[in-house]
Structures are given as structure tokens and as C-alpha cells.
Structure 1
Amino acid sequence: MKRPAFISYWVFPIISGLVWLGMLLGMLLSWIIDENSRHYDTMSERATIAYISNIGADRLQPLFITGCTLTAVFLDAAFIAERWLRHRGRLVPNSSVGEKALSILSLLFATVGTVGLICLSIFKTGTHGRLHWVFLALFIIGYLISAIFLCWEYQRLQSKNRDFPELRLSFWIKLTFIIVELALLIAFGACSRTRNTNAAAVLEWIISFIFSFYVFSFVIDLWPAVETKDPSKRHKKLTEREMEEAASISNNSS
């Protein structure tokens, strides 16, 4: 059976985002509906709202591990596909060593985030408390720094390729994600430090749900590859100087 023409690499972030959302909703609704918002042993005495890790350390740990692993694997597949498609000319290619370096750094830090995400689901809170927090930090810092490098790369790409609005759209979505998540993480840290556990738990859920929108943003990045399956429609690899000259000609003509 022939695969539909529109099915392409953009399915990776769709699968990753849906798995992440499904896992979060499944855990949250199970705790509220099936368990009547019960107090876990891993929660502090004053807490009435469970952290994700509290639920993931109990009977739903298999769901937690499976969801985190699939989310990370398919998100990494999206990162790798984006890098490969740019190299092949299926997406607007990088025109400088700096852009390629930013792309590679983004992929490396995403790998750090992947290790953190998978391991934090395995080393559950309560039993491996310190390790769990270390891997949580790797997950957050890894993907956040990865997003910063990717946003930087897209800023450079969109400034030289103004005929491709998806680059500008993706840049602004990722920049918004970075700013919002940073603000929420600072608030989360402040609440955790002052032991305002309920507020910290609510912020953790919000941060996690917002992460799904970042994952889905890769659909914008990978969708244009649907139109470049034909080799004749692929982008030509231009040098940075050639890109600047083309942009200058375009600006003068307009």
C-alpha cells in the first residue's frame, strides 16, 4: 500500500506531543477521579496537590516511563530529521558554519534533555530522591538550552530567507516558549525554595503542558519537506555571501 504523499517527517513531533499530553492527562485524571486526589507517601505533609513525579512514583510508573521514553525518542527523531532535511536541501539549508554549529549544539543539548527525561521517570522520587532531582534538572536545562540554540539558528535563517514565513513563525513560537518557560521556572524555583508546595506543583503541571506546544512547533519546521520530495524542488545550498546578495537584490527591487 502506497504511503500518502502528505505523510512525512512532521509525524514525529505529532506522535511525541500526543504521547506527552496523553500521559499527563492520564496521570492527572487518574489521580483526581480514580484516586480521589489522595495523599501519596512521597508528598510533603502539608501538600494537597501531587507533583507529576509523585503520581509517577506510584502505580502509574509504567505509564510514566513509557510516556517519557516515547516522547523523548520521537522528539529526538524530529531534531535529527530537521538537521538531515536541511543538509539534503529538503528544508531551507544552513548557509554558514555558525548556523550548522547552532543546529548541532541544539541537538546535543536535546540529547541531554532526553537522558534526563527518561532517567527521571525510572529513578522515582522517594526512592531515589537526589538522583530524580538531578535528572529533572538535566531534562529542563537540556531542552531549554537546546531551544535557545535552535531559536538562535532560526533567527539567522529567517533573516536571510524572508520568502519563507514558516521560519519566522517557528522562531517567534520558540522564543515565546523560552520566555514563558523561564518565567514559570523562576516562579517554580521560588515556590519550591519557600516550601509553597501546592503552588509549585501547579506550576510544574503548567510548565509540563506548555512543553507540549514546543514539541508541536516542530510540525511547522518539518511540514515544508512534504513539498520537496521531488529533487527538482529542493533548495540550493548557497553561501552566506550569496544569501546576503540575494536578500539585498530582493530589498532593492521592493
Structure 2
Amino acid sequence: MFHLRAVHHRFLVTVPAFAAFIWFSSLLAMLLTWLISGRPKYVSQEGAVAYISDVGASFLKPLFVVACCITGVGFLLSLILERLLRHRGRLVPEMRTREHVFGILSVVGAFVAMLGLVLLSGFDTSRYPSLHRIFLLVFMIGVALSAIFTVAEYRWIAQDYRDMCKLRRAYIAKAIIASILVALAIAFGITLFWVPNVGGVIEWIIALGFTLYLLTFCYDLRMAKATPQLPNVVKEAATSEGGRNGQSRVVEEKGGSNHA
């Protein structure tokens, strides 16, 4: 598909990088607009701090909708590219069915997140408050599930390729960022009803922090640079003392040819 074996890794990295840039710059523009305008209170606003949805429901709604659509699609494409590159040999391949399943589930989670993000931007909080909150919850759940499955997939792959420290760094970074965002999302859900001003601040932090999670895929896709020169690997299956299958050891063959 699209001759992925020949596509330069820098072109692949631009997908999550562009999505992160659009997301961050749009949020920054919305935040600065609210601050520079003298912190006006919007129709849908309850506390003193304007939520992203409040600003997004104002005259800046076109910007908010476009940013959400580009970010959602970019997030999904980053996961799909990772799947295709791993399947076609540009990234280290999976050794077990469970890793393949985790990879597919991470894409499904990203698709759910994309739908939630696009729909919450269209159904603004001013005219559709209930639907907006439902789609916001869908977006958060989709991102959380996608992150969990991605981290699980990377962790199992890293166990097969013990010398691939880049994989370990990738899933550790994702796990740390995702854990912080999930914890903040739980705090946001609580403060949304009890301390709206604090909830508004937390929402901006979560949204801006999502930029970091998008940027982790730049690191993932950049690993496609060296993969065509990876030596052949010999996988020796082993069974642990507890009778569990799936533990493996990968030995690199010196002077191996290109990975097929």
C-alpha cells in the first residue's frame, strides 16, 4: 500500500507531527483569544474559567471543528501507519497472535477516539450540552483504550527483541504520558461538577498534554528508518517452568541480509 517499503521515514513522521502541531496551535489560539479578550464569560460557561468547549462553541467554532477533525484523523492514521509498517517489515514484526490482536485493538480505540473528537466539536456545548459531554467521554475512553493496547503490544514485542531498547523507551514514554492523562481525566470528571473552575484548568492541561502523546508516534515511525537494514533474526521458542508458552529469545545473525 502506497509502496511503504520505499517511503522515506521523514514523510511518515510528518503525519503525527502535523496533527500535534494543528492541535496545539489551535488550542493555544483559543486560549490566547479568551485571555486577550479580557476573559469574557460565554453563554455556556458556568465558572470563571472558560472550558475549551465554551470557547469552541463561540465564533471560533470553525477553528475548533477543523482542529478536531485533523487531529482525530492524524491520530488514527498514525496507528494505521504503524500497523502497515510493522506488517511490511519497516518496523520490527510481531511474534505472537496476542501482539497482533493488541495492535488491531489499538487502531479500533483510535477510531473511537476520532469519532468522539469529531462529533464533540460539531455538537457544541452551547446547543447540545448532553451530546457534547457524551462524545467527550467517548473520545477520552477511545484514547485510553488505544494507549493501553499500544503499550501492551510494544511491551510484548520488546520482550522478543530484547536488544531493541528503542521499543522499551517507546512504550515506557507512552505509559507515563497516558497514565498522567488518565489520572487527570478522572480528576476532571470529579471537578467538572463540584469545582468547575478547577475542572476548566485541568481540561486545558489534558488537552495540551495530548500533544505529547501524539508526538510519541513521531518517535515510533522514525524507527522505520533503520528497519530495512535489520539483520535476520532467529527466534528460538521456549517454555518457562510454569508451563507458559510465548517466552522467546532473539539472536541477531551477523552479516544478515535485509529483512524480508
- Report the TM-score, using the length of structure 1 for normalisation: 0.88
**Does the 8 Å contact 2:160/2:248 carry over to 1?**
no
Q: Say whether the 8 Å CA contact 2:235–2:249 is kept in structure 1.
A: no
Distance 1:27 1:105, change over 3 A: same
In the alignment, what sits opposite 2:43? 41
The amino acid of 1:193's aligned partner reads F
- Superimposed CA distance per residue, residues 217-247 of structure 1 (whole angstroms, 9 cap, x where no aligned partner): 001111021234x5xx257587682895534
User: RMSD in angstroms over aligned alpha carbons?
Assistant: 2.1
- Give the aligned residue type for 1:241: A
Gaps of at least 5 residues in structure 2 are: 1-5, 239-245, 253-260
Residues 135-174 of structure 1 mapped to structure 2, 5 A cutoff: 135-174=135-174
Q: Look up the match of 2:63.
A: 63
- Local SS of the residue matching 1:12: helix
* Partner secondary structure for residue 7 of structure 1: helix
CA drift at 1:100: 0.3
**Which residue number in structure 2 is paired with residue 27 of structure 1?**
30
How much identity, in percent, do the aligned residues show?
35
Q: CA deviation at 1:215?
A: 0.3
Aligned to 2:118: 118
Q: Between Structure 1 and Structure 2, which shows a larger proportion of strand residues?
A: 2
3-state SS of paired residue (2:249): helix
Q: 8 Å contact 1:68–1:117 — kept in the other structure? A: yes
- Tell me the residue number matched to 2:98: 98
Q: Is the 8 A contact 2:9 2:221 kept in 1?
A: no
State the SS of the aligned residue for 1:80: helix
Q: Assess if the C-alpha contact under 8 Å between 2:10 and 2:222 holds in 1.
A: no
1:91 Cα deviation after fit: 0.3
Structure 1's consecutive aligned runs of 4 or more residues displaced over 4 angstroms after TM superposition are 3-6, 234-240, 242-245
* Structure 2 counterparts to residues 1-254 of structure 1, below 5 A: 7-33=10-36, 35-44=37-46, 47-194=47-194, 196-228=195-227, 233=229, 241=237, 244-247=247-250
**Equivalent-residue separation in structure 2 for 1:104 and 1:64 (angstroms):** 29
Residue 255 of structure 2 aligns with which residue? Answer: none
Deviation, 1:6, is 5.3
Q: Distance in 2 between matches of 1:59 and 1:235?
A: 55
Cα deviation per residue 1:193-238 (whole Å; 9 max; x = unaligned)? 32x110000000001111110000001111021234x5xx257587
3-state SS of 1:70 partner: helix
Structure-2-length-normalised TM-score? 0.86
Q: Which has the higher helix share?
A: 1
Amino acid at match of 1:221: D
Cα-to-partner distance string for 1:115-155 (whole Å, 9 max, x where unaligned): 00011001100201111111101100001111001001111
Equivalent residues, number = 240
Shift of the 112–5 alpha-carbon distance from structure 1 to 2, 3 Å rule, reads: closer
Which deviates the most, 209-218 or 157-166? Answer: 157-166
Q: Is the 8 A contact 1:170 1:217 kept in 2?
A: yes
Whose RCO is larger (CA < 8 A, sep 6+)? 1
Q: Which amino acid aligns with 1:40?
A: Y
- What runs of 5+ residues in structure 1 fail to find an aligned partner? none
